Structure 1
């Protein structure tokens, strides 16, 4: 998909999770300013329509469920499609009124606060297949789930695990998702362009611009300015915003890791949860405030885009050929 490749090309900008403050000299950069962006667009690009995307996702999910039911019937099992309508949301649109700092004050990073947000629109999930599966013997259940999602892979910590996804090994769901996303999708032709071996070297070289930017000395200076701001705010243990966010994710994981041998464990106590939420909100608020005060996102974009421009200057002919192939696929 175009978005996937754009994310590869603009990977660094995703690290700038603030609200994109000024650049320090009156200029403000956005994703659209990327020198590589022009090669991933094909003219008039429609603005992101959240409602349309949610409707598309719901339609695709319904189609997948239909195909899964047909596939399971062929395998000798009953399967009632699950209704995902109304359950899909891409979250708040980050329009010009979005305030990352204010959002952090309310929701932190979203690790310990997501249940509070979910309670605003509670929806209890009910699997329509639960009673049917529970009526089976253990061996029948194993066969059912293997038909549904593919054979279970036993984890061997001493063995090298195969990480490449293969839809053919993923049961009826794998087959259905392949059919919907790779065969029926109107973006299938576009995806073929990205997977064409002709562009493999170009894509690899392009992704390397991100790694180059990460190791650029100017990035260290940008991170240092943010870290100094965080230390002044009482959070001196982090070198980058990612480390800050990871610390809360690790805290969340620790509750379960520390109680993995307790089959009755259902999560942190109310007191533990309250303390964790307070810690998360305080840290996230400081993080986004410091990103805003140091123009973190814009300054990182500035470095990334300069490196991208060098790449474009060196590979313009091939990038233009790729863009033409992309345009042809999307017609």
Structure 2
């Protein structure tokens, strides 16, 4: 299966998304004013989230890969560290995800990381040939050492809590390199508060103002030749299609059906552009921000004591260092 290895940098990013609302922006001018995308809760929690601003993730990823290599050697396998310096961000950081400009160039961004501007593969697994030469049983042991042993298949709708102690050499390396960086989001004292934040953001999508716009957006998409009921359905359909494509990859080489991949990329681009245009037409993201910011302010007012405790704990820790 072609995928970039999981790192705790991704885990940290997911944690930070709790304070972003995880929303795309369909307004072509959205994002030009950074304050337009930062709500009351995001502003309030900056003493905690700003701790991530100075982290050199590329350096930590190099350290992680070296720890993985050492761990795999102890387990009896060879492992060549991935050179993350060769994997650059495929997106222009000045173009906001979800805008028409982004969609025109990158679609939803699902396929952007697999190819460079000239169409050549950017990410190549340096261990692919080594793994391909293994027998089925050897490969299973290698994967178990690298990622951990999965006891039973995960259901599609099941909640999954990552446990580094059961995640093989990557889990060990992730904890050693990113454990401190993720501490604010792994502290059991604030787990319930984070769950409340997640539920608060989930309320945004179910707000009557947005469900009314879903219908208008759906009508616009129908006129463009697409059949989706809600805004989130469009991107999710492409995500699910890519998951299916990668799950059907050759188990030995990790290669996928290139014709199907090209067709899916074309579908991604056309869907994302129509989606962005229709969101702009109905002013979906403008309304979404209004709803989100109102809920964030209500959340800050209601949970100020817990938020202050979280800030005091981790802003103070940062200052002490």
Bin the TM-score by the shorter chain: 0.7 to 0.9
* TM norm structure 2: 0.74
Cross-structure match for 2:202? 211
Over the aligned positions, Cα root-mean-square deviation in angstroms equals 4.1
In structure 2, distance between residues paired with 1:288 and 1:215: 20
Structure possessing the higher relative contact order (Cα contacts under 8 Å, 6 or more residues apart): 1
Residue 113 (structure 1) shift: 6.8
Q: How does 1:64-143 map to 2 (within 5 A)?
A: 64-89=64-89, 91-95=91-95, 100-111=99-110, 117=116, 119-120=118-119, 122-123=121-122, 125=124, 127=126, 130-131=129-130, 134=133, 140-143=138-141
1:192 aligns with 2:183: yes
Which residue of the other structure, out of 25, 31, 35, is the alignment partner of 2:37?
31
CA separation of 1:38 and 1:114: change in aligned 2, threshold 3 A: closer
Q: How does 1:1-331 map to 2 (within 5 A)?
A: 4-11=14-21, 14-19=22-27, 21=29, 30-32=36-38, 34-42=39-47, 56-89=56-89, 91-95=91-95, 100-111=99-110, 117=116, 119-120=118-119, 122-123=121-122, 125=124, 127=126, 130-131=129-130, 134=133, 140-151=138-149, 153=151, 155=153, 163-182=160-179, 185=180, 187=181, 191-235=182-226, 237-252=227-242, 266-267=256-257, 269=259, 276-331=264-319
Residue 36 (structure 1) shift: 0.8
Q: How many residues are matched?
A: 304
In structure 1, distance between residues paired with 2:241 and 2:308: 46
C-alpha contact (below 8 Å) 2:40/2:297 kept by paired residues: yes
C-alpha contact (below 8 Å) 1:57/1:88 kept by paired residues: no
* TM norm structure 1: 0.72
Residue 177 (structure 1) shift: 1.5
1:263-295 Cα shifts (integer Å, max 9, x gaps): 9x95153xx666555544333222111112222
Structure 2, unpaired ranges of 5+: 1-10
Partner of 1:306, secondary structure, is helix
Structure 1, unpaired ranges of 5+: none
CA separation of 1:109 and 1:126: change in aligned 2, threshold 3 A: closer
In structure 2, distance between residues paired with 1:66 and 1:36: 37
